[in-house]
Amino acid sequence: MYKSDKRLLILDADGTTIDAFSAIEAAFARHGLAIGDETSFRKRRHLLKYLGGLKEFPSIIKNNLRKGSRARLVDSLTEVYRQEARLYEGIPELVRTLIAAPDIAVGMVTRNITNEPLETLRQLFARYEIDISELDFFVHIPLGEKKTSQFRAIREQFGINPARAYVCGDEHKDFAAAIGSGMHPFMVSYGFEDYGRLTEKFDIPHELISRTSAELCLRVRHALGLGPGSAQ
């Protein structure tokens, strides 16, 4: 029925593996703009994440965007991602371990809106001595496209049983896409959506949610039998 006995792990980029809040904060600061604390940021997460509509932006940011500075903000964000952005604690070691595991197909999906996003993330990961060309896949998903179809396409590409497939994400849409494509979700609450929103508004089971990247790494390692934290 399935052409592969491998397991599959799909990693979300911004907010799950990459500290996107700090990168966006630094980029806006270069233009004299403050995005507020992380709690406030999460309430405007889509607007700030994609530099989209203006309704919920503070007035100073609205004015700057209306003056045509969106391109300059994206330029700054690109530079910050390539030169300064950080991976969350424990993520570099986990990614290296996953790449080295012969029975795991691992890759990443992203909606990153920097210039040439795949090149941007290549440079970011290279600072952690990770060559993203060694991943089994690296997919940039357009903003208007749902993740469910992409997750399913990736799984079918490798011919992997959905019961052996996993998704790591930080938003309720990641959870829905994982379930919708028959995969197990590893959710985190340190990214674009917090623990209360995930559990209370979207009824995501708390057992699936990691509050820190260290906890996520332990859960993944245990589930996949990858050394420390695994039951071997």
| Cα 72 from Cα 77, distance rounded (Å) | 9
CB 147 within 8 A of CB 141: yes
Q: Classify 36 in phi/psi space as left (phi over 0), alpha (psi -120 to 50) or beta.
A: left
| Cα 120 from Cα 139, distance rounded (Å) | 13
**b/e code 141-172 from CB counts within 10 Å (16+ = b):** beeeeebbebbbebbeebebebebbbbbbbbb
Q: What's the number of CA atoms in the CB half-sphere (13 Å) around residue 121?
A: 24
pLDDT over 70 at 57, yes or no: no
Domains and CATH numbers, the chain: 7-18+87-224 (3.40.50.1000), 20-83 (no CATH)
Any idea what DSSP says for residue 14?
B
Q: Is 26 buried (19+), middle (13-18) or exposed (0-12) by CB count in 10 A?
A: middle
pLDDT at 186 (0 to 100): 98
pLDDT at 43 (0 to 100): 57
Closest CA to 185 of 157, 156, 153, 223: 223
Mind listing the pLDDT tens digit for each residue in 80-137? 999 999 999 999 999 999 999 999 999 999 999 899 999 999 999 999 999 999 999 9
pLDDT over 50 at 79, yes or no: yes
| Cα 202 from Cα 194, distance rounded (Å) | 11
Average of pLDDT values for 23-39? 80
